[in-house]
Amino acid sequence: AGEPIHVRFCFQMYGHKDPYVSGTTLTMDVLSDGMERVLDIAGAQWTGDDNITGQIRFEFDHAGEDAEVSVCLYLNDGYTAPPQAEDKPIAFGSDGYNKMIARSLMQEGNTYRIKKAIDKARRGEDTTLAFIGGSITQGAGAIPINKECYAYKIFTGFCDLTGREYDDNVKYIKAGVGGTPSELGMLRYQRDVLNDGKGDPDLVVIEFAVNDEGDETKGDCYDSLARKIYNGPGHPGVILLFSVFADDYNLQDRLKCVGEAYNLPMVSVKNAVVPQFNLSEEEGRILTRSQYFYDVFHPTNAGHTIMADSVLHLMRTADSIPSKEEFDINTVTPPKSADFENVYYAGRDDIDSAKAVLSYETGSFTGKETALHYCERDLDLFGTPEFPDNWLYDGSVDKSNPVFKLKVHCRNFLVAYMDSASPAVGKATVYADGKEAVKIDPHIVGWQHANALIVVREPEAADHEIEIRINPEDIDKKFILLGFGITD
């Protein structure tokens, strides 16, 4: 079948400090000629920061190439492994598969806005589907990431359901950013989905069920984000989607109260797939963990398909039942908190128009960082930088004034900054009204991505003086200040 092609085999360990960088990656160049090749790991140079087995992957020289491969792990004498049953193809569309998908419908909720979006698309009117979440929404594990991710599969399934051509009158927004919780998501929504006032979504899927351990409010930001979207421009339908990790972890038990209180449709992939993982084929197993998970965090292409089918099952259910009266979530006491519902983001480009900002002094925060967290947005295969309008403090260039000062009139104030694994990036301390409020250590997470922390949270708006100070021991280093979240 033609000349053998060159392929690089990679066995990657995820690291403690930076999951995708600091662990060991063993590589071996092979040809697709049918011959077995052995990677001897006895003499491998290990980084010393290995955490868990991350990926087994194959890298091709050119896009579009493929090959069939088997990977065997040989054990040294004295070690044993449990018997490994060969995975059989997933019977998509079978009765067993459909029953598994049906289990994902955690709560039908009020389907008025879903039905409204479906009817709107069928009439040929412009209809927008948007997705906001973490790395799973970004498409991690899907190959290619732009069209095999669950979000795009829901989009195409919605188009099929409504009889529309893809990207005809139905529009698609994918705003997933790896490693970020709803605490940052409520700031990103303004730009990444609403496009600073230009966006007008009809349906929004929220997927933060495996990211929100990083939300310091333990659910308040998630509640506020759901309200922000539901009550915001376009008055879209809101679907809460609960994804899952390979160890069965997610936070749906913490977050489902938001959907229950507001009668929002909820879909749990955990409820669908986890109960059948430990079954035998005879007992009704549809797929194995290895078929669903690309790594310990992210789904394979098949996993993304299952996520999409679960949400599409909800949409078909909504389409098949009579319209309900629209539910007003403002009649319900927030189960967590609505404190941040009206939060807005102010970066370098729009801080002058932020009415809560009375004045500010950038000090030596005069640069602009371009080496940012890049994410594949919408149908793009190439990353888009997150928060490009930032302020860079670079002590190697100017350390004369390592303080960024603001005077603001607000109830809530958050600082967004860039995490990093680089030793060239330093720490900072945030002061509110002369008192230490937040310590920022960009190395805690251990890899480069955006983060946000609450500096001020008060029941009433008041004047506050905020200072972001580079720690004295790091005055020669860098610090990337992305912007601010403000509630007037």
The whole-number pLDDT of residue 359 equals: 98
Look at residue 2 in the predicted model and tell me its pLDDT: 67
For 5, which DSSP code? -
What average pLDDT does the chain have?
94
pLDDT of residue 35: 85
Burial of 15-33, coded b for 16+ CB within 10 Å and e otherwise, reads: beebbbebbbbeeeebebe
Cα three-residue angle 242-245-250, rounded to 5 degrees: 45
Segment 445-468, tens digit of pLDDT: 878 889 999 999 999 999 999 999
Mean pLDDT of 169-180: 94
Peptide bond into 144 cis (omega under 30): yes
Supply 81's token pair: 């492994």
Tens digits of residue pLDDT in 243-263: 999 999 999 999 999 999 999
Separation of alpha carbons 188 and 190, rounded Å: 5
DSSP 362: -
Side-chain half-sphere of 70: how many Cα atoms within 13 Å?
A: 7
Rounded percentage of the chain residues whose pLDDT exceeds 90: 79
Q: Output the six-digit token pair for 475.
A: 């005055």
What is the pTM assigned to this prediction? Answer: 0.88
Identify the three-state secondary structure at position 236. Answer: coil
What pLDDT shows up at residue 81? 84
CA distances from 58 to 27, 67, 138, 314 (A): 10, 10, 21, 36
pLDDT digits (tens, 9 = 90+) for 91-121: 999 999 999 999 999 999 999 999 999 999 9
3-class secondary structure, 432: strand
Among residues 290, 268, 264, 307, the alpha carbon closest in space to that of 113 is found at 264
Pairing of strands 344-346, 478-487: antiparallel
- What CA–CA distance (Å, rounded) separates 25 from 8? 12
Q: Of 31-40, 335-344, 349-358, which gets the smallest average pLDDT?
A: 31-40
Whether 223 and 336 have beta carbons less than 8 Å apart is answered as: yes
Q: Using one digit for the tens of pLDDT, what is the confidence trace for 321-343? A: 998 899 999 999 999 999 999 99
pLDDT of residue 85: 67
Determine contact, residues 448/369, Cβ cutoff 8 Å: no
User: How confident is residue 128, by pLDDT bands cut at 50, 70 and 90?
Assistant: very high
What is the Cα–Cα distance from 52 to 40, expressed in whole angstroms? 19
Residue 427 pLDDT exceeds 90: yes
Residue among 236, 237, 205, 187 nearest 133 (CA): 205
